[in-house]
């Protein structure tokens, strides 16, 4: 995946989840449709922004961990590209 794809995916999922929760809770409380849709749209945008932040932080944490992991475990000798070192 390219950089930023995970953040956008998380943001989209969180935005749609927020929209669904707002629709269901608005209809359950018997509010007018225009009010329910307005609140759901605002909730969707807010949840999308929060999800974008969560996704960006998550990507940076994973990238940092992978850098540390690779630095702590260097590959010796290069190895064969097919990964046939352990094959018998």
Q: How far apart are alpha carbons 51 and 45 in whole angstroms?
A: 10
**Cα 73 to Cα 13, 18, 32, 59, 62, distances in angstroms:** 35, 41, 60, 21, 16
79 pLDDT more than 90 = no
* Residue 19 domain flag: yes
What residues make up the domain containing 34?
5-72
- pLDDT tens, position by position, 11-68: 999 999 999 999 999 999 999 999 999 999 999 999 999 999 999 999 999 999 999 9
* Residue 81 domain flag: no
* Residue 37 domain flag: yes
* Residue 63 domain flag: yes
Residue owning tokens 């509010």: 31
Those residues with Cβ within 8 angstroms of residue 15's Cβ, 6 or more apart along the chain or in another chain? 44, 45, 47, 48, 51
* Residue 83 domain flag: no
* Residue 79 domain flag: no
**Structural domain total, the chain:** 1
């Amino acid at each position: 995946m390219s950089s930023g794809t995970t953040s956008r995916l998380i943001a989209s999922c969180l935005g749609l989840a927020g929209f669904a929760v707002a629709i269901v809770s608005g209809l359950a409380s018997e509010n007018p449709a225009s009010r329910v849709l307005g609140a759901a749209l605002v909730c969707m945008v807010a949840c999308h922004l929060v999800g974008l932040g969560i996704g960006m932080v998550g990507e940076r944490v994973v990238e940092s961990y992978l850098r540390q992991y690779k630095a702590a475990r260097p590959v010796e000798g290069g190895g064969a590209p097919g990964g046939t070192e352990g094959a018998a």
